[in-house]
Structure formats: C-alpha cells, structure tokens
A = this chain, B = another copy of it.
Amino acid sequence: MSYRVDGLQYANWSEKIFRQMREGGLDAVHVTIAYHENFRETVLNIERWNRWFEDHPDLIFQGHAGDDVRRAREEGRTAIFFGAQNPSPVEDDIGLVEVLHKLGLRFMQLSYNNQSLLATGCYEDDDPGITRMGRQVIAEMNRVGMVIDMSHSADRSTMEAAGISQRPIAITHANPHRWHPALRNKRDDVIRAVVASGGMMGFSLYAHHLANGSECTLESFCEMVAMAVERFGIDHFGIGSDLCRDQPDGVVTWMRNGRWSKRTDFGEGSAAAPGFPRQPEWFRDNRDFANIAQGLRKTGFNAAEVDALTGGNWLRFFDQSFGARTT
C-alpha cells in the first residue's frame, strides 16, 4: 500500500485547500497550529480547526495516530495532524505538554529561529544546547508521545536533542546544507544525529530552502533527495513541503517577528523581497505531489522507494511516535 503524507504545511486553510489536498491524494498532512501563539491562543486555533472538521467531514478529520492515515486512505479523506513550530504553546509550564498532547498536538519544535526556554534557534549567534527546562520537556514529550521537531533550531541544540531524546526526533522541513547552504538547511552532522535517533527529515519545497530558489528544477530537487538517501539511507526521509498556500505576506512577517521585535526582521527574505517567495513551477500547491513522485521515479528510485519517500516513512514514524511511551 502506498501512502502520501506531507510532513509540514502552514496554509491559509479553506475548503479550497482541503479539496486540493484530496486532488493531490494526500492521506495525511502535519499542519502548523502555532508559530508564536501562547497556550490560550493555540486553543483558539484548535477551535478553528474543530469548526473545519465539523464543516468538512467529507474532506478532512483530525489524526491522532498512524492508523488514522490508513483510515484516511480507506475513506478518501485527509487526516490532519497538529504541530507547533515553537514551544510557545507550552509557555513556561511543563504540565501543558500533556494537555496539548490530549488536544492532539503531535509535533513541537523546541525553538523557532530565536532562543526559547528549551533550545536555541538557528538565527542566534551562539548555541549553548538544550536548557535545563529543555531536558525535562524532552523527557515529558517522550513520555506522552509528542515528536521533538528541530527544523528551526541551531545545530548544537539539535544534536543534543537527538542524544537526550529516548525516542526518534524529526526535522520536519529542511534540506541538506551541502545542496543549498541556506541558514535553515541542515549540515551532515545534524542530519546524521537525527537519523541516528531513528528519526525523520522532510524535504522542503519552500523556495528559500531550494538551490536556485523559485527556479529550482524538479531534477535538481530529486537529485538532492538521491544524494541524501545515498548518504544516510532511505528510511529516514520524506516530504515536509512547508507549503504556505494562500497566505498574505503579512503572515510571513508574523512568522519572523512574532511579538519579540519592534524592528522588522526579514529572516530568509530581505527588505527588497520581504514576502513569501514564489513556489517552483512544478510544486505550486497540494495538487502537485504527483510531480514529485514522478520526478523521483525518473531519478532512478523504484516504486517501493518512491512510496517510502512520499509517505511510507512518515507513516512508520507516526506509528512509532504518537503513543504514550510503554517502557
């Protein structure tokens, strides 16, 4: 059986996008429900999702475990898994980890670009690794079954998290730094640490993470996948498209600046190009997932390998990761 799973999206959600997910054959999508939101604000976002689940039961439902991906395939719907790109929903309160897991949060980044209470973000000058609170929150996430996502974290913090965590961790959306040396892309040592934890990395389709940006070719992208697979093995990779469909540019300003800054931080953009970058032609939205599968076949992956890369690996990881720790 082949499954199609996207390891990260942050769209301006609507029925239109849910229909595009169905057109693209997506069985599951990990959606961001918090960038800088605190606990109460995250609950408000969950309330919005609850309305969407209520209004569009023919298209989507909330996923809690790997089996929900299988159910989604059987029922022709898309299972939506919640994640946070920042530990802001937990605030300074370790007890909120379990509460948020009960509400369905399945991924949480330990930091988003900046220093958090738990770990360092990739935009800080210096990275002291996982903090005192971070060590305890990792143990608590391990206990309840919430995935540690280090996509926007700094290198030392990521490698320490992989070592401290008793369960596999993830980089849900990034590409290898050796292919495109963006600040957000990951060096070999970092990928190796995540892979050694038994973890997963989702390849990003966000233009700032792509060689040649919006002009990146499908061939180049698929060759990058092949290079990563050759170096680290096929079991640890999937897609984490980072699709931000239909978002106004004001949203990328919020993503970068939250409430922490009075000056505008342009992140991966610039004063001249402050908005969302254009998607590559061959991956404009959820309907284009088939292009990636075709590209991977053309690059030389066999059907089983393409299935693993476009969903099977994520599904195995979901099966392993979302339940309470039994040992």
**Interfacial residues, chain A to chain B (CB-CB below 8 A):** 36, 38, 88, 91-95, 114-117, 120, 123-129, 131-134, 136, 140, 258-263, 265
Contact = CB atoms under 8 A, between A and B. Distances in A.
Nearest to A257: B94
Main secondary structure of the interface of A (DSSP, over half): loop
A261 B259 CA distance: 26
A126 B95 CA distance: 25
Nearest to A93: B259
A117 B120 contact: no
A126 B126 CA distance: 10
Copies of this chain, complex-wide, total 2
Given A115-B133, A133-B115, A94 B128 contact: no
B92 A36 contact: yes
A114 B133 contact: yes
Contact of A131 (B124, B133, B258, B265): B124
A129 B124 CA distance: 10
Contacts of A129: 125-126
B38 A92 contact: yes
A260 B136 contact: yes
Contact of A263 (B88, B91, B136): B136
A131 B115 contact: yes
Nearest to A260: B133
Contact of A132 (B88, B93, B115): B115
Contacts of A92: 36, 38, 88, 258-260
